Amino acid sequence: MPLPTKLPSNIEAEKKVLAAAMTNRVSRVEIVASCTESDFFSPSNRTIFKAICDLDAKGIGADCVSVIDGLRSSGKLAAVGGEAYVIELISDDFAQASYEHYVDILRRDTARRNVIAATAEVTSLTNNPPIDTAEYISAVQDTFLAATEQSVPSDYKSMESALRLVLDSAEATRTGGATDHVKTGFSKLDELIGSFEPGQLIVLGARPAVGKSAFAINLATSIASVGTKVCLFSLEMTATEIGQRILASASAGASSGLTIGAIRDGLIKEGDRALAENIVASVSALPIDIDDTPGTTVASIRAKARRMLRGQGKGIIIVDYLQLVDDPKGSKFESRNVQIGKISRSLKILAKELNVPVIALSQLSRQVENRVGKVPQLSDLRDSGSIEQDADIVMFLDRSADDREANMDGRPAKGIANVIVAKNRMGATGTVEFVFKPEYCRFYVAARNVAR
C-alpha cells in the first residue's frame, strides 16, 4: 500500500487551540502542558504556539496583544501572516467550549504523522536491508518504538531509582528535611494514617449535615499553617461562605469567639472587631487558593491547580464534593454510576499527574440511614463502587444528627465526631475521636487514644 501523499493535519483545529490558549488563562495552562510544537502542522501556527509557550514560561499572560508583541520583537510577525492573522484567530467564539476535543485531534494527527514517517523509514530500510537479519529486525522495532514513544510519553523508573527515592524520603523525614508528605496537623489522625502522600486519592465521606465541608476547611487551614499550598475547589459553597467558616473556626480559641451565626448575620460586636481584624490578617497569609466555580470539570481543576501549584514546594488539592464535578465527556445514556466512576478515576490520575494528594469529599447513599447504628461503611459510598477502588484512603466523618440520635446506643455522644479510617493502602485503619463545636465550625482531636 503506497504512503499517503498528504500528511494528516487539521489546520482549523490548530487555529481553535491557539484561540483558546490566547483567550483564557485556564485553557492556556492545559494546552501548554498537553501540546508540543510538533502538534502544529502549519509553520505559522507552530510559530505562534511557540510564542505562547515562551510568554507562559516567563509568567507573562499570552493574550493576543502580548503574542503579537513577542512575534514582532523576534522578527516573526510577518512570517505568520501579520497582526491580522493573530487577531483573526481570537475572533473564534466557539473555540473555548471544546478546546480539549481539538487538542485530541492535534495529538491524533501527530501520532499518524509519526507512524507514516516511521513506515517510510522502514520501507527504505526494507529495500536496502543490513546483511544481518537480527540487525534488520532490531532497526525496524526501534523505528516504530521511537514513533510511538513520541505520542505516548513514558516516565518509568528502574528498581534502583524507586528504592533510592524511598531511602531519600525516609532520611528527609528523619532529619526534618523537606518532604512531599502532607500532615493533617491533627496529631491522633497523623498517628493513625501517617501522612497524605503525593499521588494519593483520599475520599472523605459523610451523611448530609454531618459537617464534612467544615472538617475539610479545618483540614485546609491546618495543612496550610505549616506552609503546604492548598487548592480548595468548592462546588457547593461560595468563597464567602468558606471565609465565614474559616473566620469562625479561627476565633474558637479566643475568650470571646465569633460564632458562624454572628458572622453570617452581620452581628459582630464592636468589641470583637479587633479580634476579627487580627484573624483576617493572620489567616490571609495562609497559602490557600479557593475556586468556587460551580459545575467545574476535572480538566478545569487540573488546569487551575497546575497554575496554583506552580513554584510551590508541596501542595494538596481538596474537592468539595465529588458528586458535583461535571463530566463533559459523559453521555446522557451512561448511568450515574459510570459517570461518577470516571470522575473518581480522573481524580486519581490527577493526583499522580500533579504529584500531590487529592482529597475528594463524597456523599453517602441513603442506606446508611436505615442501618442499625448508622455507622458508615465502604459500601455506602454513593453512586459508584469505583470510588472505593480508586481511593488510597477512605475516611468517614460520623456524628449524631440530633440529641435523640446522640442518646442511641452505639452513636457518638453530643458534640463528638468520629473520623473512621475505613481503608488505608499504606497503613492502619481505625477511628479517631474529635470534639466538634458547630457554632464555630471547629473540630478538635479528643484526648482519648486512637481506636484500632
CB 184 within 8 A of CB 219: yes
Contacts of 144 (CB under 8 A, 6+ apart): 115, 118, 122
Distances, alpha carbon 246 to alpha carbons 47, 403, 440, in Å = 47, 26, 9
CB 259 within 8 A of CB 440: yes
- What CA–CA distance (Å, rounded) separates 431 from 110? 51
The amino acid at residue 366 is R
- Residue whose cell numbers read 500500500: 1
CB neighbours (10 Å) of residue 369?
A: 12
Catalytic positions are: 236
DSSP 231-273: EEEESSS-HHHHHHHHHHHHTTTSTT---HHHHHTT---GGGH
Residue 181: strand, helix, or coil = coil
Contacts of 108 (CB under 8 A, 6+ apart): 8
CB 309 within 8 A of CB 354: yes
- For strand 416-424 and strand 229-234, is the pairing parallel, antiparallel, or unpaired? unpaired
- Residue whose cell numbers read 536496502: 128
* Tally of helices (H runs) and strands (E runs) in the chain: 17, 9
Residue 320: strand, helix, or coil = strand
